[in-house]
Chains A and B, each alone.
Chain A
């Protein structure tokens, strides 16, 4: 890993000069036969990949209105062109969102439109050659599906949707990415992305109970597979063992403890992350989400609460109801969804984010805090893209921005914002989302983090910020890895519930 360099900071905002080919051939490792076959894809690039890829594209065009409209509607205005953190960090023009889409669009035009069939050169249409396929593999695995570009496009064209379609086509011809497919295999086989088996999980939870007891003198429980608990907590598996993730898990447990809420984790469904979304595959997305419905039915819980994980919250908030019926408003004859929806308590939002849960409790005055416990920190908040641009919290549009900030302000005294055009719906991705959080892409991840690092540095210089809170497991893992390369302390990153955990008064109520 000798060629990993942190680009120098510049004055923001900046539009970098183009460096064509800068990231050519820098895609991730290809998935092995074993990994692909384990989740139902061809093991290797199939012989008739050309025809199968085109056929798959045709099929997706009839199944997804987003893809269909997005392939036609782009006017090459370039409004999105300088909005991608990977383009800003790598300067490779194919990392401009519109250019990334065009890798697919050029083939769409050639095979599915009249002008592309008649005058390919004129409209920028291309045959699907092996070079084009490799280009897809390379550049569609350099998109974190963060959707920042879609905020700025006059037609709402969402490159994430295009990336998902491209990855779906690649997987369908046996050209999958190692990291994502490996993780999907693990979640099916063992129940979580990290491959932690049930007994190991149990051990970890018992260890945590001891740690918290040592630190606070109070018996905070970390229950697993408890039938009849009120709340089923679904959280990213990183929360079970990695730093700083685990501090947030302790925070959730303390909130449940302090409010007297009975809760449980599920060993069969010990994962909130859903990499099915990253590869754009509806069946995988659904199969992985289905575990949650099963666990909820088996344990008989009344509420489902999701921990600090960005894309998991997007899947939970936006897709769970569609995929599995966790939510409200199913048709009376929708048997599967009805089963679950009868059981859930609809006085509460289903599913709920842990931040919604905690914020409700704070508003009901069921929690007390010693804010000075966080006085050593000057805190800023990094909006994670899948929360910011793909989901919501609470009742009002934009609740996903307000609620985490409100919690921070309730548990700590020093909070400052980063530059406004880089937060909320315009937030910059951490650089590790979308199935790119793998060491073989470290160079890309470091470069993709550049815009966030520049803005953070600004906040450090102006306000003395020494803690960046975030509510995403991928953000936490990515930042702890790349921030030292930019000269920051890795402990500067942590969860919102880590701050809650520091300040919460357990004996008080």
Chain B
């Protein structure tokens, strides 16, 4: 029974995530940027822009300049999350790719550091006056959701083992539209429910910062306004009517 419910939930949530995020991306991409507004000093070439973006996305360059604590905690969380997600590929691949097998032990520790990063970020939100001021209930809940996912995941590893073979069978089956039984393990149920929730929330929440960062004109524009005329379609119409 649980396996059917989860199968449906995962299908729906994944569909929502993909459609939702693609829709968002298409609105970002489809909205014109009428003026050149890169924050300087900005690169003057496309290669430079790619480098700038890479530094932002991989190393959180601007955040590093802004606040060391937020940077440490934010980077710890995101870096760990990336490892954890990659580690989870083993539930979706058969045979498991070599490099996925290789990172398994690191991925486990990453679960712990991820939890630490999240708790640190939440502590900032709770105890730093100005961050508390700007926080909405959803900001707190989002952190709690991620903390819940990390904690339930870790406890299946370190407290009460779940039957990972069956879990893997379930997900491989899911990918082949062949629903297999899921172990009736309360921790697993909590973990998977929270993950479904995360997938659902993603396209409607501030998690859109992930695709959004690539569309931020202050970061992705080249600094070449004197060399090339940059004009949005809606602005061009003024000229024709003159």
Interface residues of A (CB under 8 A from B): 15, 17-18, 61-66, 68-70, 72-83, 93, 96, 98-99, 102, 113-115, 121-124, 147, 150-158, 161, 282-283, 286, 317-319, 321-322, 325, 327-331, 334-337, 349-351, 388-392, 396-398, 400-401, 425-426
Contacts of A69 in B (CB 8 A): 28, 212, 215-217
Q: Does B90 contact A (CB under 8 A)?
A: no
Interface string of B56-95 (1 = CB under 8 A from A): 1000101101110010001000000000000000000000
Closest Cβ neighbor of A315 among chain B residues: B35
A64 & B129 in contact (Cβ 8 Å cutoff): no
Min CB gap A31→B, angstroms: 24
A318 & B37 in contact (Cβ 8 Å cutoff): yes
Contacts of B36 in A (CB 8 A): 318-319, 322
Q: Give 17 A-B contacts (CB < 8 Å), ordered by A residue.
A: A63-B34, A64-B33, A73-B212, A93-B133, A96-B133, A115-B204, A115-B205, A121-B137, A152-B67, A156-B219, A317-B226, A321-B228, A321-B229, A322-B229, A327-B226, A392-B40, A397-B42
A155 & B216 in contact (Cβ 8 Å cutoff): yes
Number of interface residues of B (CB under 8 A): 65
Q: Does B213 contact A (CB under 8 A)?
A: yes
Of the candidates B40, B124, B130, B235, the one having the most CB atoms from chain A within 10 angstroms of its own CB is B40
Q: Does B186 contact A (CB under 8 A)?
A: no
Closest Cβ neighbor of B226 among chain A residues: A327
Closest Cβ neighbor of A147 among chain B residues: B39
A413 and B179 alpha carbons, distance in the complex (Å):
80
The 5 closest A-B pairs by CB, nearest first: A73-B212, A124-B136, A152-B66, A156-B218, A79-B66
A74 & B209 in contact (Cβ 8 Å cutoff): yes
Interchain pairs with CB closer than 8 A, number: 226
Interface string of B131-168 (1 = CB under 8 A from A): 10111111101000000000000000000000000000
Min CB gap A87→B, angstroms: 9
Interface string of B201-242 (1 = CB under 8 A from A): 000111011001101111100010111111110110011001
Contacts of A122 in B (CB 8 A): 136-138, 141
Min CB gap B130→A, angstroms: 5
Contacts of A329 in B (CB 8 A): 227-229
B131 & A321 in contact (Cβ 8 Å cutoff): no
Min CB gap A286→B, angstroms: 7
Min CB gap B205→A, angstroms: 7
Known: A152-B62, A321-B226. A65 touches B31 (CB 8 A): yes
The contact of A64 among B31, B44, B218, by CB within 8 Å, is: B31
B216 & A73 in contact (Cβ 8 Å cutoff): yes
A286 and B206 alpha carbons, distance in the complex (Å):
34
Closest Cβ neighbor of A350 among chain B residues: B226
Known: A329-B228, A390-B40. A76 touches B213 (CB 8 A): no
Known: A63-B31, A74-B206. A83 touches B229 (CB 8 A): no
Q: Does B1 contact A (CB under 8 A)?
A: no
A155 & B33 in contact (Cβ 8 Å cutoff): no
A156 and B60 alpha carbons, distance in the complex (Å):
11
Contacts of A154 in B (CB 8 A): 56, 60, 62-63, 66, 74, 209, 213
A88 and B136 alpha carbons, distance in the complex (Å):
23
Min CB gap A313→B, angstroms: 12
Q: Does B117 contact A (CB under 8 A)?
A: no
Q: Does B107 contact A (CB under 8 A)?
A: no
The contact of B40 among A17, A325, A397, by CB within 8 Å, is: A397
The contact of A18 among B65, B130, B136, B225, by CB within 8 Å, is: B130
A318 and B48 alpha carbons, distance in the complex (Å):
18
Min CB gap B230→A, angstroms: 5
The contact of B44 among A70, A327, A351, A397, by CB within 8 Å, is: A397
Min CB gap B55→A, angstroms: 11
Contacts of B229 in A (CB 8 A): 321-322, 325, 327-331, 334, 337
Known: A81-B134, A321-B229. A113 touches B204 (CB 8 A): yes
Contacts of A388 in B (CB 8 A): 40
Min CB gap A243→B, angstroms: 30
Interface string of B28-56 (1 = CB under 8 A from A): 10011111110111111000100000001
Min CB gap B35→A, angstroms: 6
Q: Does B128 contact A (CB under 8 A)?
A: yes
